Amino acid sequence: MALVTLKPKHEQRILAGHLWVYQGNVAEVDGEPSPGDIVDVRAANGEGLGRGYYNPHSQIVIRLLTRTDEPIDDAFFAERIRRARAWRARFMPGATSYRLVYSEGDLLPGLIVDRYEDVLVVQFLTLGMDVRRDQIVRILAELEKPRAIYERSDVPSRKYEGLELRTGLLWGELPQQPMVIKENGLSFEVDVVAGQKTGYFLDQKENRQALAQLVPGARVLDVFCHNGPFSVHALQFGAREVLGVDSSAQALETARRNAALNGFTDAARFVQANAFDLLRELDRSGDRYDVVILDPPAFAKSKSHFESARRGYKEINLRGIKLLRPGGFLVTCSCSHHMPADAFYELILEAASDARRPLRLVEWRGQAKDHPVLAGVPETAYLKCLIFQAL
């Protein structure tokens, strides 16, 4: 096994809990590892730091899998997947659709596995996981006994690893799409073949439950509603009516079907529109709501997009705050890792100041527990969900 030695003082981030070794951290590679091979990593003083897979073509040259001297074999991956499943069983008892493996959060960097009832959807995000694709699929089939395993490795980040985008059935027989899953006792259509990401946004599961105390009897505006899960949860928790807004006609058709699946056809209305334009129109018209939900796509896809993303987030929050009745609630989210939590909070306060509406913080939330945050790896904490009351 090849041995990688880091430059002096370049081990501190690893000792603090991170799993990534960058090209610039490396002083020497002893041996000739091939892309995807397992290598040992040590500090300049000889201290062992761990063992991970190697990709000389990526800026992240090593991603650690373990900090001990253990083989990276079938037993290793099977045990990690068992531990991941045990975490979900502890914190989401009874759930039938959830993220089974969350990359670094489950100490399996580069691997995503989502369970939708009896179907698994996998993403191999890195070369180190991609070369172990058949091994991981076989282990998942043995441990989880799914009806099908479908690959959605069609994420742009694979290009940074020198990998092509790829999708397709890897194991079993895929049920007709879309299929129906259960979340918090409600039914939702999921298309694992053509849907966004792996078919559904599982990370907001707990934040959707948080609507229960906010929406009874409320008039709700759900902006960037996508397939309608926030809208449907709001109606389930007693909202009087919901207006869902999205720019995708296809997503809105699914949202209407999801509302119907759960018996809320009459109380739900979905309109196709540019969210920024519609928020301004609603403000000018004097329309007001008891609850405004803002769950936009990632505005900041890289550090270079931070300022433009900040302007976008501030604009929608300013408009959302203005649309609230006195005592109404704002549920505002950002899924951009490059938008830090403190910066997100600050821009909301700026928006409230511009709107001349004082806010009271009700709750500061994050991603669901099936997306565990690994201390020392800030990249695993990306979702912000803040709930305010407008006074």
* pLDDT on residue 326: 97
168 and 31, same structural domain? no
Instruction: Record the tokens describing residue 265, joined without a space.
Output: 């056809």
- 309: pLDDT strictly greater than 90: no
270 and 125, same structural domain? no
55 and 96, same structural domain? no
* pLDDT on residue 302: 75
pTM over 0.85: yes
81 and 60, same structural domain? no
Q: What pLDDT, in 10s, does the model give residues 51-80?
A: 999 999 999 999 999 999 999 999 999 999
Residue whose C-alpha is closest to residue 99's, from 205, 207, 217, 213: 205
Q: What is the CATH number of the domain that holds 34?
A: 2.30.130.10
- DSSP, collapsed to helix, strand or coil, labels residue 334 as strand
For residue 266, the Cα-to-chain-centroid distance in whole angstroms is 31
- Count Cβ atoms within 10 A of the Cβ of residue 194 and give its class: 0-12 exposed, 13-18 middle, 19 or more buried: exposed
328 and 286, same structural domain? yes
Instruction: Give domain status of residue 189, yes or no.
Output: no
Instruction: Give domain status of residue 170, yes or no.
Output: yes
The residues that are catalytic are 335
Residue whose C-alpha is closest to residue 63's, from 31, 29, 39: 39
54 and 27, same structural domain? yes
- 303: pLDDT strictly greater than 90: no
Last residue of a domain, one of 12, 37, 66: 66
Last residue of a domain, one of 16, 41, 66: 66
Give me the domain span that covers residue 370.
201-390
Helix (H) or strand (E) holding 142: helix 133-144
- 129: pLDDT strictly greater than 70: yes
CA distance linking residue 345 with residue 104, whole number of Å: 26
- The confidence band for 300, taking pLDDT boundaries of 50, 70 and 90, is low
Instruction: Give domain status of residue 332, yes or no.
Output: yes
Query: What's phi and psi for 322, nearest 5 deg?
Result: -65, -30
369 and 233, same structural domain? yes
pLDDT above 90 covers a percentage of the chain that reads 94
Q: What is the CATH number of the domain that holds 153?
A: 3.30.750.80
Q: How many domains does the chain have?
A: 3
Instruction: Record the tokens describing residue 249, joined without a space.
Output: 């006609």
Q: What pLDDT, in 10s, does the model give residues 180-220?
A: 999 999 999 999 999 888 889 999 999 999 999 999 999 99
Q: Residues 195, 196, 199, 201: is their CA dihedral positive or negative?
A: negative
CA distance linking residue 266 with residue 86, whole number of Å: 40
Helix (H) or strand (E) holding 317: helix 306-322
Instruction: Give domain status of residue 131, yes or no.
Output: yes
234 and 382, same structural domain? yes
- Count Cβ atoms within 10 A of the Cβ of residue 44 and give its class: 0-12 exposed, 13-18 middle, 19 or more buried: middle
Instruction: Give domain status of residue 55, yes or no.
Output: yes
* pLDDT on residue 308: 87
Instruction: Give domain status of residue 95, yes or no.
Output: yes
Q: What is the CATH number of the domain that holds 382?
A: 3.40.50.150
Residue whose C-alpha is closest to residue 319's, from 342, 343, 296: 296
pLDDT above 70 covers a percentage of the chain that reads 100
Instruction: Give domain status of residue 297, yes or no.
Output: yes
Last residue of a domain, one of 38, 66, 94: 66
Cβ neighbours for 73, distance < 8 A, ≥ 6 positions apart: none
Residue 354, CA distances (Å) to 148, 276, 317, 359, 370 in order: 51, 17, 10, 12, 37
Residue 61, CA distances (Å) to 69, 128, 160, 251 in order: 20, 10, 11, 38
Instruction: Record the tokens describing residue 103, joined without a space.
Output: 């990359």
78 and 60, same structural domain? no
Write the single-letter amino acid at 208.
Answer: R
222 and 253, same structural domain? yes
Query: What's phi and psi for 142, nearest 5 deg?
Result: -70, -45
CA distance linking residue 258 with residue 13, whole number of Å: 45
CA distance linking residue 16 with residue 375, whole number of Å: 8
87 and 130, same structural domain? yes
Instruction: Give domain status of residue 188, yes or no.
Output: no
- 238: pLDDT strictly greater than 90: yes
CA distance linking residue 377 with residue 106, whole number of Å: 11
385 and 273, same structural domain? yes
Residue whose C-alpha is closest to residue 3's, from 63, 36, 46, 59: 46
- 344: pLDDT strictly greater than 80: yes
